[in-house]
Amino acid sequence: MNARLEGMRNTAPPSARRRVAWPASLGGATGPLIGLVLLGVGFSLASPYFLSLRNALNVLDQVTVLGIVSIGMTAVIVVGGIDLSVGSVLAFSMMVMGWLNQDYDVPLVLCIVAAIVVGGVCGAVSGLLVTRARLPAFIATLAVMSVARGMANILTDGQQIVGYPDWFTRLSTVRHFGFLSLTVALVVVLVIIAGAYMTFRAGGRNLYAIGGSSEVARLAGIPVRTVTLLVYTGCGVLCGVAAVALASRLDSSQPSAGLGYELDAIAAVVIGGASLNGGVGGIAGTVVGVLIIGTLHNGLNLVGVSPFVQQIIIGVVVAGAVTFDTLGRRNR
């Protein structure tokens, strides 16, 4: 690993290295973290139901899907891309899983694998459109978003699929040791792996170099196109994983699932300190961003704020959190 780190030092351009130093460590997430803590304090004062272990676990349950999707989105945004297709790809993977299971009696375990593979294929298509066809990421993933949503609907003619076996729904509902459902545990594991990879491995550091300046990265010997393709593929795979988690949580597959998730995921990543220009961001920050979004929804429901007012508050807090972070970075 040391050798690899050395390799990274040689390949990453000096400017990119300086820019990535902060956000990659937990230090980069301190701004959003303060916001999260304040949010928690505010809601604890406002609602007697907020501050309890049970509710904290609820929030974790509620952000599993967003959390998994946001990990992939972080990598995509760090390389300077964007992926608008995550919600649709999630729905498509979810429908493939249910459809194979229900209409063709494929064992559920294989269906889960199929869902993840389908997600990866969709991601790879986005990646190829971006790297080979040279489409802007926004357009490429917008196209995939539309295609995937259509395919999700075609499989069952828009019908939802209900009725998974008990063991499958228990993945997300049974809390082992009194607190950890398997889906939440999965998120934790994925976060640790992705965070460690992006912070400590040369391959992970390459993402920042590409996002900082893909031309410089290419000249430095990083296989930019291959890495970018892999990043989109990885993001798709994670959508497939998220689809499985969501199907378990809903005990059904719906072609309309995941509508608008791309925006929540992008918001979480940016709240977490990433820049849409690429080269900046990190898993730790994203986790905090995801928790801010989750806590906000949960807390406002517990307090009983009217749904219309909720939308206003969420918009203001998102804008506030990001402003806070950008101003903070400028001061630094």
Partner 1 sequence: MSTKFKVVASAIALAAATVFASQAMAQDKKVTLGLAVANLQADFFNQIKQSVEAEGKRRGIEVVTVDAKGDAATQVNQIQDLITRNISALIYIPAGATAASVPIKAAKAAGIPVVAVDRNPPDAPADTFIATDSVSAARTLGDYVCKVTGGKGNIGIVQGQLGTTPEMDRDKGFSEAVAQCPGLKVVAKQASNMWMQDEGFSIAQDMLQRNPQLDVFFGRADALAMGAAHAVKVANPDHKVIVVGFDGDVAGLKAVRDGILEATMTQQTQLMGRMAVQSALDLVAGKTVPKEQLQQAQLTTKDNAAPFIEKHP
Task: For the segment 6-25, give every residue that binds partner 1 (CB under 8 A).
Answer: none
- Window contacting partner 1 (CB under 8 A); options: 13-21, 159-167, 207-215, 225-233: 159-167
Q: b or e along 169-195 (b: 16 or more beta carbons within 10 Å of the residue's beta carbon)? A: bebbeeeeeeeebbbbebbeebbeebb
Shortest distance (Å) from residue 182 CB to partner 1: 17
Task: For the segment 294-323, give every residue that binds partner 1 (CB under 8 A).
Answer: 296-310, 313, 316-317, 319-321, 323
Shortest distance (Å) from residue 5 CB to partner 1: 32
Q: For partner 1, which is the closer residue by CB, 47 or 102?
A: 47
Q: For partner 1, which is the closer residue by CB, 147 or 216?
A: 147
Residues 6+ apart with CB under 8 A from 280: 19, 20, 23, 78, 208, 211, 273, 274
Closest-CA residue to 88 (of 230, 239, 228): 239
The 8 Å CB, 24+ separation contacts for 300-303 are 302/43, 302/47, 302/49, 302/50, 302/55, 303/43, 303/46, 303/47, 303/50
- Window contacting partner 1 (CB under 8 A); options: 70-78, 104-112, 129-137, 154-162: 154-162
Task: For the segment 31-70, give every residue that binds partner 1 (CB under 8 A).
Answer: 31, 34-35, 38-39, 42-43, 45-49, 52, 54-55, 58, 61-62, 65
3-state secondary structure of 162: strand
Phi-psi region for residue 221, left (φ > 0), alpha (ψ -120 to 50) or beta? left
Q: For partner 1, which residue of 153, 182, 197, 225 counts as binding (CB under 8 A)?
A: 153
Q: Per CB under 8 A, does 182 bind partner 1?
A: no
Q: b or e along 33-43 (b: 16 or more beta carbons within 10 Å of the residue's beta carbon)? A: bebbeebbeeb
Q: b or e along 312-332 (b: 16 or more beta carbons within 10 Å of the residue's beta carbon)? A: eeeeebbeebbeebeeeeeee
| Distance between CA atoms of residues 75 and 330, nearest Å | 23
Task: For the segment 258-277, give every residue that binds partner 1 (CB under 8 A).
Answer: 258-260
Q: For partner 1, which residue of 17, 175, 200, 251 counts as binding (CB under 8 A)?
A: 251
Q: For partner 1, which is the closer residue by CB, 16 or 245?
A: 245
CB contact at 8 A, 213 and 13: yes
- Window contacting partner 1 (CB under 8 A); options: 8-16, 113-121, 222-230, 247-255: 247-255
| Distance between CA atoms of residues 56 and 268, nearest Å | 18
For the window 277-296, what string marks contact with partner 1 as x by the rule CB under 8 A?
-------------------x
What are the C-alpha distances in Å from 288 to residues 28, 114, 145, 211?
11, 31, 26, 22
CB contact at 8 A, 245 and 63: no
Shortest distance (Å) from residue 54 CB to partner 1: 7
Shortest distance (Å) from residue 89 CB to partner 1: 15
Q: For partner 1, which is the closer residue by CB, 124 or 305?
A: 305
Q: For partner 1, which residue of 26, 160, 203, 218 counts as binding (CB under 8 A)?
A: 160
Q: For partner 1, which residue of 108, 159, 180, 225 counts as binding (CB under 8 A)?
A: 159
Q: For partner 1, which is the closer residue by CB, 224 or 243?
A: 243
Amino acid at the residue 106: V
Closest-CA residue to 140 (of 127, 151, 154): 127
Q: For partner 1, which residue of 2, 14, 105, 331 counts as binding (CB under 8 A)?
A: 331
Which positions touch partner 1 (CB under 8 A)?
31, 34-35, 38-39, 42-43, 45-49, 52, 54-55, 58, 61-62, 65, 153, 156-160, 162-163, 169, 246, 249-252, 254-260, 296-310, 313, 316-317, 319-321, 323-324, 327-328, 331
